[in-house]
Amino acid sequence: MSRAVIFSGQGAQAVGMGKDLVDAFPACKKLYDIADETLGYSISDICFEGPVEELTKSNNAQPAIFVTSIACFTALKESCPDISFAGTAGLSLGEWSALHAAGVLSFEDTLRILEARGRFMQDACNECDSTMLSIIGLSMPDLEKICEDAGVTIANLNSPAQTVLAGERANIEKATALAQDAGAKRAIPLNVAGAFHSPLMESAAVKLAETLAAVEFKQPTMPIVANVTGLPHDAATIRETMLKQVTGSVRWQTSIEWFKANGVTEYIECGPGKVLTGLIKRIDSSATLHNINNVATLEKTVAGIA
């Protein structure tokens, strides 16, 4: 069975994440120790003890979810030493976890990138009162008309049923009313700091470019499907593509469709929550799905793939 490993995005964080993996696997404890040393503060304490307000800050949430996701991946590889993958992907910040898993970036460099990325994105949020809106049950022509009329953009193409819009708060409020008038099953304002994956994040992309210029990007050991194209990264342009990801739409549905077209039938989600396996179920109902976010789900996954 051909399988892919996928990595959680921001919003999946929860206080206590990773703690039982640290207690069970010395290699996982080492990851958190390295993270604390690299960042110069205790991201492990924030993961394990909170408070939730501190964990939710973008400059903490992004490295915290990354460390926890890689701890899940490390525990899986220790439990199944012969496991192999046909490719990898991640949602938004999870794509950085995928880059590390595929050998493109070191653990320490990814941590530093994500702390900076989270900080720059929060700065961009503070520059403009903006937010995001999840819409369920509208066609693409309807969504494109709403974007045009309300002055917002498509941030995430998550599944055939769910699309996320982003923009200034007043425009998102207008888009909410337009979506309801168009017959959307649901139009749900998201509790986020701002309009991620939209042109309103341009200042974050400019700052991140300076950070990435100092980092070495290596050749990937397996295909990494890019958020902005839904196709595998070209190894020569990963740095540039990841900058586009800050302001570009996340094409998650297209990414999973690429995996399916290339024979992937099984997915293992590593990281807090299980949002991605839920989305995949709506894109490819025939797929076999697993998620690892603690020791119990690790054991269940290992038993399911043995």
Query: Catalytic residue at 197?
Result: yes
Which of 101, 54, 91, 31 has its CA nearest to residue 272? 91
Q: Which helix (H) or strand (E) holds 157?
A: strand 153-157
Neighbours of 111 (CB within 10 A): 26
Are 67 and 111 spatial neighbours (Cβ–Cβ below 8 Å)?
yes
C-alpha pair distances (Å), 104 with each of 19, 33, 110, 118, 218: 27, 22, 10, 20, 4
Query: Of 58, 97, 134, 197, which residue is the catalytic one?
Result: 197
Query: Of 44, 58, 69, 92, which residue is the catalytic one?
Result: 92
Q: What is the largest CA-CA distance in the chain?
A: 54
Q: Is the peptide bond before 220 cis (omega within 30 degrees of 0)?
A: no
Contacts of 188 (CB under 8 A, 6+ apart): 133, 134, 135, 136
Residues designated as active site: 92, 197
